[in-house]
Structure 1
Amino acid sequence: MHFDVAFEQFHLFPNPVSEQLAVDLADLGKVDCRLRIFDALGQEVYQVDAPADSGQVLFIDTRTFAPGVYTLSVTSQSMARQAKKFVVVRR
């Protein structure tokens, strides 16, 4: 898996996360995006398309994810694919 890391255009929080991950896409502007989440083995475990009019922050329910390290990839037509790591923990 290869990702081009450009300047920071999206934010995710909290990290680590236990129940709900917020992905702030406000800095991307009004563009369609595809979000994909991969586990530590590189297997895709989640995918969602976010239309430009879907709002600035997306919430992802992580309660069904096993504890561990994940990679969130954001792709749009106007930017290179970007990725950030996050950790799922159980409390």
Structure 2
Amino acid sequence: MTVITENVIPGNHGRIFTTNASSDAEMEELKSIVEKIDGVKDVVLIKEVYPKEFIVHTTKLIKNNVIEKAVNELKIKAIPKGIFPLLNI
């Protein structure tokens, strides 16, 4: 494992997580709890896919397992997806 795969890197690319949240209400609860983590800038919910996903953007390096543990408090799972390439725009 590397720093890039084990953490959410600060910036505008964020990290995508999949979740087993089944309702929009659970997704909103998930968003609320993740946004309370120190260093989380915002959480974007992706409800149109299955399984549902969310993107976490941060202002500092945050370990994936910090986000996973916060979501687990809701009895919901969060699993980080693989990294995706950054675009040179």
With structure 2 as the length reference, what TM-score do the two structures score?
0.38
Structure with the bigger RCO (C-alpha within 8 Å, sep 6+) is 2
Bigger strand share: 1
Bigger helix share: 2
